[in-house]
């Protein structure tokens, strides 16, 4: 394959494998966040943004003949695996923080690589090997928004209906910090919104039902659990 007409998650991850790079190293080479690379692994059919297509074209054109050959062999191997029921894609696990401050909840506006464009969601981060999901939720919230929070309780786990990512949800209480967009490469905006207005930002069908139940609780009830 000398030319990739349209880069999707599958092709991008195959190039990463051919370069024998970790998610972090591949993301650094492309100038994007490691979380984006992890999302490609979980969503191999996603068509990437035009800017990302150009970045991948540049990297692909600059690789050595040996890497280019590995890239083609990996794609052929993946096609054979599909035919035998195999898969080279691992399940992506994400920790989601539902951070409550009195009658408000914290949301981030994500720059999405898919066709859906910019979307609002709760702060979330990939759960790396050896890291507890609750710890990942707290760390990612601080990294993305500058807000310090603490887990109140586990809200449950599900396979997200849109992204097909395994999500682990945590109700969190606000501790300190001003909400700021600390990850401009991944997020468009960060803001506190009234708990009663969440469905204006995120479709009800995409919200895990226990989250809606938790947001209906009085603030003191959630804070003291």
**Burial category of 4 from C-beta neighbours within 10 Å (exposed 0-12, middle 13-18, buried 19 and up):** middle
> Highest-confidence range of 57-61, 89-93, 153-157, 219-223, by mean pLDDT?
153-157
Contact assessment for residue 155 and residue 146, using Cβ atoms and an 8 Å cutoff: no
Give the integer Cα–Cα distance in Å for 211 and 170.
9
In this prediction, residue 133 carries a pLDDT of 94
> Mapping DSSP to helix (H, G, I), strand (E, B) and coil, where does residue 62 land?
helix
20-40: pLDDT as tens digits: 898 889 999 999 988 889 889
Question: pLDDT tier at 212 (50, 70, 90 boundaries)?
Answer: very high
pLDDT digits over 74-128, tens only? 887 765 544 444 444 345 678 999 999 999 999 999 876 444 445 899 999 888 8
Residue 2, pLDDT > 60, answer no
């Amino acid at each position: 394959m000398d030319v990739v007409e349209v880069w999707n998650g599958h092709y991008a991850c195959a190039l990463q494998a051919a370069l024998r790079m970790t998610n972090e190293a591949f993301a650094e080479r492309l100038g994007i966040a490691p979380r984006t690379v992890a999302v490609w692994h979980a969503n191999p059919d996603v068509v990437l943004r035009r800017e990302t297509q150009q970045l991948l074209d540049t990297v692909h054109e600059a690789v050595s003949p040996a890497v280019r050959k590995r890239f083609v062999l990996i794609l052929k191997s993946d096609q054979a695996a599909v035919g035998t029921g195999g898969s080279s894609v691992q399940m992506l696990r994400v920790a989601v923080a539902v951070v409550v401050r009195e009658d408000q909840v914290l949301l981030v506006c994500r720059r999405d690589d898919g066709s859906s464009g910019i979307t609002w969601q709760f702060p979330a981060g990939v759960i790396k090997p050896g890291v507890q999901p609750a710890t990942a939720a707290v760390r990612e919230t601080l990294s993305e928004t500058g807000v310090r929070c603490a887990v109140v309780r586990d809200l449950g786990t599900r396979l997200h209906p849109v992204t097909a990512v395994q999500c682990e949800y945590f109700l969190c209480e606000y501790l300190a910090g001003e909400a700021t967009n600390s990850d401009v490469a991944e997020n468009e905006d960060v803001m506190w919104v009234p708990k009663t207005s969440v469905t204006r930002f995120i479709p009800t069908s995409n919200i895990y039902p226990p989250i809606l139940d938790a947001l209906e609780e009085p603030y003191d009830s959630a804070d003291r659990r």
